[in-house]
């Protein structure tokens, strides 16, 4: 595939060769805007292979001493189609058969074969995999923690509530012209997986220090409501939860970080965050500061 700045297409290379039959190569190359070596390359390819020589070639080396043999690639395809195993399992089975191959190499071959996704194996497109459900067995068995980033709404609501030409919208635009910005707030939430008891705070950022302080306050609040021992804390792979300081703040609780694109593991707190965000935005746009404190007494609303 030609890049956008390519000076020659296959048709342009043919015209170049035709001009070079009656004129010096250097003159034609200068008119075309390419080097003499480039022009000579296409002329020599045309003399050797004809018009087929003017087509782009693959950049794959002709000789690859360390390339995976075709028999091993066929074995990978067979294991994938028949057993529906992952790349890690296929690499393990090949190791047992005396074939040393890394998981990354197996993944690369599966992608080139078009079998890297489970839904690519069956013609129906089924994933062949049922979502796993995580069920907490007792209070404190699993506490789900997450952060929701929410844009700030001016007190009383913005233009979506009152319209573009309203007094509130014009006031916000004047503040923006002076350099003021609404910014964001971050809703930190903790939900017990068994009792669905939830604690949330609206904090100014999602740094590790803020997440650790929220964890301590959430632990104290849950303890005041009867959940004195937390066995497992489930989070996503956010930067604040990957910090070493956050791991030290768990106080003996097991930390389970879910991988990206698997919301089924942390779905409780994600659904709770969506509901809380909607209620929080409604409170910011419709209620006064005192009414918000009465409605959300648990929250630390800014």
pLDDT digits (tens, 9 = 90+) for 109-133: 999 998 888 777 876 656 556 666 6
Residue 291 has pLDDT above 60, yes or no: no
Q: Give the model's pLDDT for residue 37.
A: 93
Answer for the pair 234, 256: CB distance below 8 angstroms, yes or no. yes
Mean pLDDT estimate for the chain: 77
What's the CATH number of domain 143-295, 3.30.930.10, 3.30.365.10, 3.40.50.1390, 3.30.420.10?
Answer: 3.30.420.10
Q: In what order do the strands lie in the sheet with 198-203?
A: 198-203, 184-192, 143-151, 232-235, 254-257
pLDDT confidence of residue 295: 43
Tell me: the pLDDT tens digits for 136-192?
788 888 888 888 887 766 666 665 566 667 777 777 677 667 666 667 788 888 888
For residue range 16-58, list pLDDT tens digits in order: 899 988 899 999 889 888 899 999 999 999 999 988 888 888 8
Separation CA 218–CA 197 (nearest Å): 11
Mean pLDDT of 188-208: 83
pLDDT at 281 over 60: no
Q: What is the pTM of this model?
A: 0.48
CA separation for the pair 82, 113 (Å, rounded): 15
- State the Cα torsion 96-97-99-100 to the nearest 10°: 0
| Position 103 confidence tier, pLDDT thresholds 50, 70, 90 | very high
- In the beta sheet, which residues pair with residue 150? 185
Asked if residues 181 and 152 have their Cβ atoms less than 8 Å apart, the reply is no
Residue ranges per domain, the chain? 10-54, 70-120, 143-295
Dihedral (CA of 90, 91, 93, 98) sign: positive
The 3-state DSSP class for residue 185 equals strand
């Amino acid at each position: 595939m030609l890049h956008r700045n390519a000076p020659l297409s296959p048709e342009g290379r043919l015209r170049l060769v035709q001009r070079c039959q009656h004129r010096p190569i250097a003159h034609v190359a200068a008119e075309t805007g390419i080097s003499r070596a480039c022009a000579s390359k296409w002329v020599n390819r045309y003399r050797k292979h004809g018009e087929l020589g003017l087509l782009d070639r693959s950049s794959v080396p002709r000789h690859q001493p360390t390339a995976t043999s075709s028999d091993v690639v066929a074995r990978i395809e067979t294991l994938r189609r028949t057993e529906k195993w992952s790349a890690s399992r296929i690499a393990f089975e090949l190791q047992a058969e005396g074939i040393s191959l890394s998981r990354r190499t197996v993944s690369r071959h599966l992608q080139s074969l078009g079998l890297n996704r489970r839904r690519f194996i069956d013609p129906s497109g089924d994933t062949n995999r049922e979502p796993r459900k995580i069920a907490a067995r007792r209070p404190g068995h699993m506490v789900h923690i997450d952060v929701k980033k929410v844009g700030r709404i001016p007190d009383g609501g913005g233009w979506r509530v009152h319209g573009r030409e309203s007094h509130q919208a014009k006031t916000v635009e004047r503040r923006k012209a002076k350099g003021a910005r609404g910014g964001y707030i971050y809703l930190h939430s903790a939900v017990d997986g068994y009792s669905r008891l939830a604690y949330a705070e609206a904090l100014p950022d999602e740094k590790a220090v803020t997440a650790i302080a929220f964890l301590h306050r959430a632990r104290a609040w849950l303890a005041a409501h009867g959940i004195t021992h937390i066995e497992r804390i489930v989070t996503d792979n956010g930067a604040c939860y990957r910090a070493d300081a956050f791991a030290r703040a768990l106080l003996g609780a097991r930390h389970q970080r879910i991988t990206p694109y698997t919301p089924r593991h942390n779905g409780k707190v994600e659904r709770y965050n969506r509901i809380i965000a909607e209620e929080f935005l409604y409170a910011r746009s419709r209620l006064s500061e005192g009414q918000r404190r009465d409605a959300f007494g648990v929250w630390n609303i800014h």
